[in-house]
């Protein structure tokens, strides 16, 4: 089956058959802006993200990735513009249990064990006990923390805390997940496992919105948005952006688009 991408007009098979449902809008962003005093961190962002996408927000530190995620999660009030999640304007309450959020700064309880944290995050979303137990086993295996289930989080390394935070954001089986730099400080083998898992989520129709400043990771995304100083300077499939800029990597494409490299 051939499908036309509503954002770029491209007719594709491989990508759209497998990767996302271009008829179902999950996130609709219109002129979303955030200023801190006189400084504009996110400037008039327009973007639509579809069901089953892994959408990557890419850009260097300070380009506005976290600010965008926080606005979409209802944690920061936009200065201007609007956004809808599953058709609900932000901030929303009624669909909170459909959303998973892994903040950039690990948000887990240090004085509790790994198990207690997972139990807590599953519990606040009202997961039944047997479903929670099953999901906990899956999550512990996924983030490779089975042997630390009963360890206090304060005794874990930074990377382990990061992995637990990821598990806590996914345990309640959200249909839309915001992951803010989930692969920072994660070793290459586990990074590959993470991306494999994100792809499996997307194949189930779950939408994953992910930030990273590792440009090489973005090839796993269905589409990426390149951010620079609060502006979306390009948006499209990784391959498409490379083709347009006649570059071999997204890093080169980014440098080309910011005028720092010729193709
Ligand atoms: N609460 C805040 N007050 C003032 N400036 C902020 C605040 N939060 C973020 N910023 C600024 O907004 C810009 C974008 O930050 P951020 O969204 O965290 O970028 P990224 O996640 O891409 O590294 C940065 O220059 C940052 O210093
Ligand atoms: Mg950030």
Ligand 1 atom closest to Cα of 76? Answer: 1
- C-alpha count within 13 angstroms, C-beta hemisphere, residue 159: 11
pTM equals 0.89
Beta bridge partners of 89: 84
Distance 18 CA to ligand 1 centre (A): 35
Find out whether the beta carbon of 212 lies less than 6 Å from any atom of ligand 1: no
Q: Specify the pLDDT at position 2.
A: 47
3-state secondary structure of 232: strand
Kindly state the tokens that stand for 253: 């494409």
* Euclidean distance between CA atoms 26 and 47, whole angstroms: 11
Q: For 41-73, how does the pLDDT look when each residue is reduced to its tens digit (9 = 90+)?
A: 999 999 999 999 999 999 999 999 999 999 999
Q: What is the pLDDT of residues 233-248, one digit of tens each?
A: 999 999 999 999 999 9
Separation of alpha carbons 213 and 58, rounded Å: 6
Taking 50 as the pLDDT cut, the residues of the chain under it are: 1-18
196/218 Cα distance (integer angstroms): 13
Tell the residue nearest (CA) to atom 17 of ligand 1: 64
Neighbour-count burial of 35, counting CB atoms closer than 10 A to its CB (0-12 exposed, 13-18 middle, 19+ buried): middle
């Amino acid at each position: 089956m051939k499908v036309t991408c509503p954002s770029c007009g491209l007719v594709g098979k491989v990508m759209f058959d497998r990767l996302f449902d271009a008829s179902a809008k999950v996130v609709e962003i219109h002129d979303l802006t955030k200023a801190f005093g006189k400084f504009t961190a996110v400037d008039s962002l327009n973007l639509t993200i579809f069901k089953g996408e892994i959408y990557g927000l890419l850009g260097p530190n300070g380009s506005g990735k976290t600010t965008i995620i926080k606005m979409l999660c209802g944690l920061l009030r936009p200065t201007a513009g609007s956004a809808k999640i599953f058709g609900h304007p932000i901030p929303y309450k009624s669909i909170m249990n459909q959303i998973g959020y892994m903040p950039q700064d690990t948000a887990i309880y240090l004085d509790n064990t790994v198990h207690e944290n997972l139990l807590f995050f599953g519990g606040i979303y009202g997961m039944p006990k047997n479903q929670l137990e099953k999901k906990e086993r899956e999550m512990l295996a996924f983030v490779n923390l089975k042997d630390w289930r009963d360890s206090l989080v304060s005794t874990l390394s930074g990377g382990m805390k990061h992995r637990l935070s990821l598990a806590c954001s996914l345990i309640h089986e959200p249909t839309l997940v915001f992951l803010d730099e989930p692969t920072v400080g994660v070793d290459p083998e586990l990074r590959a496992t993470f991306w494999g898992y994100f792809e499996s989520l997307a194949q189930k129709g779950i939408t994953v919105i992910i930030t990273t400043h590792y440009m090489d990771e973005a090839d796993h995304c269905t589409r990426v948005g390149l951010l620079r100083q609060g502006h979306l300077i390009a948006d499209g499939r990784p391959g498409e952006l490379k083709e347009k800029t006649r570059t071999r990597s997204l890093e080169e494409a980014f440098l080309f688009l910011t005028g720092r490299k010729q193709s």
